[in-house]
Amino acid sequence: MIIFSIITLGIYALYWQYASFKELKNYSGTGIGGGLGLFFAILIGIVNVFLLPSEIGSLYARDGGDRPVTGLTGFWVLIPIVGGIIWVVKVQGWLNKFWVAHGAPA
């Protein structure tokens, strides 16, 4: 995700947010969905930094597990350079683990 975002000058990051929010809403029936997620990404991107991990954590909570990421995960981006990388690794990692646990190929 990070490399594609750099190569495409940030366009892939917008698509990734759209697709992630859309998948979350399609699966759970709750959340903001892809359209609103893209809207926030374009106009007030900082919102998604907190909202996406919150929605991922909610998926785990609905399954009866602990929330591995929450809205507070968004504070990682406040650490220059490495904070954004840590945020992406945590958010994408836990999202991948959720999908694999629910039948997606590893």
Q: What is the pLDDT of residue 2?
A: 83
Q: Has residue 106 been placed in a domain?
A: no
Residue 19 domain boundaries: 2-101
Mean pLDDT, the chain, integer: 95
Q: What secondary structure, in 3-state letters, does 56-102 show?
A: HHHHHHHCCCCCCCCHHHHHHHHCCCHHHHHHHHHHHHHHHHHHHHC
Q: Is 90 exceeded by the pLDDT of residue 20? A: yes
Count of domains observed in the chain: 1
**Any domain includes 64:** yes
pLDDT above 80 (res 99): yes
pLDDT digits (tens, 9 = 90+) for 23-50: 999 999 999 999 999 999 999 999 999 9
